[in-house]
Structure 1
Amino acid sequence: MSRGIYITANDKVTDHAIALINSIRIHDPETPIVLIPYDDNYHNVAEILKQRHGVEVYQDLEFIDRLSKRLHEAFGSDFFARPNQFRKQACWFGEFDEFLYIDTDIVVFEKIIDNLNYFSEYDFLCCDYQHLGGIKNVFTSKVLEENVFTESDLKDMFNGGFWASKKGLVSEQEIYETFAECAAHPEYFDFSQKTSDQPIINYMILKRIAHRFNIVRRPKGAPGNWGGTSHFIPTANHQLIDPSVDQPLQYLHWAGIRIQPGCPYWDIWEHYRYFHEDKPLVEAMPAPKKPGFFQQIVSKIKR
């Protein structure tokens, strides 16, 4: 039984991918990791990740192109803001019997692959509190009004940036059929915040996979993981504690947040991005210019 991790990336998110893989390898030097190219501009990031951490590129690139094209066409060429997000659906048909998918705007704080041990009882895993925020960014009220899903079903909604399942559990034809169903009922989905794959994959999982488990429902609870949560407490080893459950975070996800200086938990991300190299020097801010004679006169008049 083979296990592994999939990510999607291109050269534009090289820094994010490096931070993610560095964090994975700190806790787990062995689990194989496969890169699903987000588009054709992936060769630089692929080379860096392969040299540093043995990350391989998904073997059947022709299949990825065919799959993503079919899924994109189901809704029409101009429907989705980021149609290439559907390339992650190639996870179902790759080399791993059991797999974990992780977005590159994440860093992990543990041997994250061990969460797949829940597969002794379940077929699909997620690990977030997406469901507590209501159905926005996934569904509209139509799914309840027309009995597409029950309130109980919707408690299993999840964020599409971190999930796990088993190879072949969903067939290629079933994915095409699911997308056709969704395209026939766009009123079921909330794309207002320019999400692309999250509403559709939620629909597919809730419809087709019964044995689901959200890891935050484990006994004694589980920590949060969203980068927009302000109450996490940093530790000395560049990790975080969620004081609401008094547990260390399993991972941190900057979903919907631009990762840049000044963003939440920037120091955490920066630590993992530059774990194996020197941080770039930050240029000093230029000293403010002394106001000229005319500007001094204007200031005196205003005062």
Structure 2
Amino acid sequence: MNRGIYIVANDYVIDNAIALLNSIRYYDQEVLVYLIPFNDNYQKVADKLSTLHNVQIFPNLELIEEFTKRIGEIFDRNFLALPNKMRKLVAWFGPLDEFIYIDTDIVVFEKIADNLEKLSEVDFFCCDYHHANDKLRNIFSSVIKEQQIFSDNQLEDVFNSGFWASRKGIISELQMDKTLRECATHREYFDFSEGVTDQPILNYLVLKLIAKRGNLVKIPGGGPGSWAGSRNFQQQDYALYDRGQRLKYLHWAGIKMKSNSPYWELWNHYRYLHEGKFAFIPKLTRRLFPFVTAHT
């Protein structure tokens, strides 16, 4: 059985992609990682990630192009802000039997592919608190409840589209095509007010087509959070902790990466992990990693 990770990237997000892959490989040298090109401008990031971390290009580029064309045929031009973000959906038809999809504005703090063991219990899982904090915001409009498209229990399973896992074949191309067309005829179901693209559609697909779902934070007492907008995480040895629990990953969702962004030093650490330079390194870091040269 092939297990691994998919990412979507192009040259524009090369720094984020390097930080993500540096963190993945720090904890796991072996896991398969495939790059799904966001558009045609991906040669620099592909070459860099291949050289550093043996990241492979998604082997069926024709499938990606066909899928992108189909998205353009199904949805009106003004329906989706960034239609190419939908390319992550080809993960269900790729070479991996079981997979985690990870956005590039994430770094991980563990051997993240070990979480695929959860697929022995469910057919899809996420790992975030969107259901508790943002609830239906940036996913569904009030119409979805008013018309009882999904039950209240189903809506407790909404999720952020930056980190999720499933297995090949759980959704067929025919099912996906039919369900995407449903979405295209019911724009009123979705909340695109803050410029999201794939998240509302992906949530609709999963709630509609996958009955056995899980969320890794739904454990007794609650699992650790993951959003970089949460300022209450504690840092230790280049990982973060939430109420004493080590985060699985940190996601800068909706946050532009710049020098005053939350947890910027942590991101900087993973971005330049193999290059020996950082914008800022705390004294504790220099003691733990004496081989690193700090730039002031």
TM-score range, shorter chain: over 0.9
Check whether the contact 1:71–1:176 (CA below 8 A) recurs between aligned residues: no
Distance 1:192 1:281, change over 3 A: closer
Matches within 5 A, 1:115-264: 115-132=115-132, 133-235=134-236, 237-243=237-243, 246-264=244-262
Check whether the contact 1:6–1:91 (CA below 8 A) recurs between aligned residues: yes
Secondary structure at 1:33 match in 2: strand
The structure with the larger Rg is 1
AA aligned opposite 2:86: F
Q: Give me the whole-angstrom Cα distance separating, in 2, the residues matched to 1:281 and 1:112.
A: 27
Instruction: Specify the alignment match of 1:62 in structure 2.
Output: 62
**Cα RMSD (Å):** 1.2
Unaligned runs of 5+ in 2: 281-296
AA aligned opposite 2:195: K
Check whether the contact 1:93–1:168 (CA below 8 A) recurs between aligned residues: yes
AA aligned opposite 1:14: I
| Aligned-residue offset at 1:221 | 2.3
Secondary structure at 1:118 match in 2: helix
Q: Give me the whole-angstrom Cα distance separating, in 2, the residues matched to 1:6 and 1:186.
A: 28
Unaligned runs of 5+ in 1: 283-303
AA aligned opposite 1:160: S
Corresponding pairs, count: 279
- The structure 1 segments of at least 4 consecutive aligned residues displaced by more than 2 Å after TM superposition are 218-221, 278-282
| Aligned-residue offset at 1:189 | 0.3
Q: Give me the whole-angstrom Cα distance separating, in 1, the residues matched to 2:48 and 2:68.
A: 25
Secondary structure at 1:23 match in 2: helix
TM-score with structure 2 length normalisation? 0.92
Instruction: Specify the alignment match of 1:48 in structure 2.
Output: 48
Check whether the contact 2:8–2:35 (CA below 8 A) recurs between aligned residues: yes
Check whether the contact 1:127–1:162 (CA below 8 A) recurs between aligned residues: yes
Distance 1:53 1:153, change over 3 A: same
| Aligned-residue offset at 1:279 | 2.2
Check whether the contact 1:36–1:58 (CA below 8 A) recurs between aligned residues: yes
| Aligned-residue offset at 1:280 | 6.4
| Aligned-residue offset at 1:201 | 0.7
Check whether the contact 1:138–1:202 (CA below 8 A) recurs between aligned residues: yes
Of 44-53 and 71-80, the range deviating more from structure 2? 71-80
Aligned equivalent of 2:267, options 261, 266, 269:
269
Q: Give me the whole-angstrom Cα distance separating, in 2, the residues matched to 1:138 and 1:264.
A: 24
| Aligned-residue offset at 1:72 | 3.0
| Aligned-residue offset at 1:71 | 1.8
Q: Give me the whole-angstrom Cα distance separating, in 2, the residues matched to 1:206 and 1:247.
A: 29
Q: Give me the whole-angstrom Cα distance separating, in 1, the residues matched to 2:112 and 2:64.
A: 25
Secondary structure at 2:241 match in 1: strand
